[in-house]
Amino acid sequence: MESYKLFDAEHKFVSLIWDHEPVNSTELVKLSLEKLGWKKSTTYTVLRKLCARGILQNQNAVVTALIKREEAQKYESAALIDKAFDGSLPQFLTAFLGTNKISAKEAEQLKRIIEEATQ
């Protein structure tokens, strides 16, 4: 699970791939320059490192993600709750909802999610 940890710059890069995959590596270099301001060498360096960690693959100059966006989000969410709230989801929600308002529709969605998780 630790291999899913993405630093901010890595997350932006992988998000670019999730949004455009499968993406040709030449096109990825152009996207990285346009969206991240990265040079070709930076793009290939980060790509190589993320391929080595099993997060991305580059086969025949076509880059794809080996992990889904949802898997990375699950890992990041769990890591945040573990780190900042000692693993307590209620403490996280209390902190989040103490400063943010949610709509009635969002509240209903949360109720449904909690009900499904407790069955």
- Report pTM: 0.79
Domain covering 8-69 assigned CATH 1.10.10.10 in the classification: yes
Q: What share of the chain is helix, strand, coil (3-state, %, to 5)?
A: 70, 10, 20
The pLDDT tens digits of the residues spanning 80-105 come to 999 999 999 999 989 888 888 899 99
User: DSSP secondary structure string, 38-84?
Assistant: --HHHHHHHHHHHHHTTSEEEETTEEEESS-HHHHHHHHHHHHHHHH
The pLDDT tens digits of the residues spanning 20-62 come to 999 999 999 999 999 999 999 999 999 999 999 999 999 999 9
Q: Is the peptide bond before 90 cis (omega within 30 degrees of 0)?
A: no
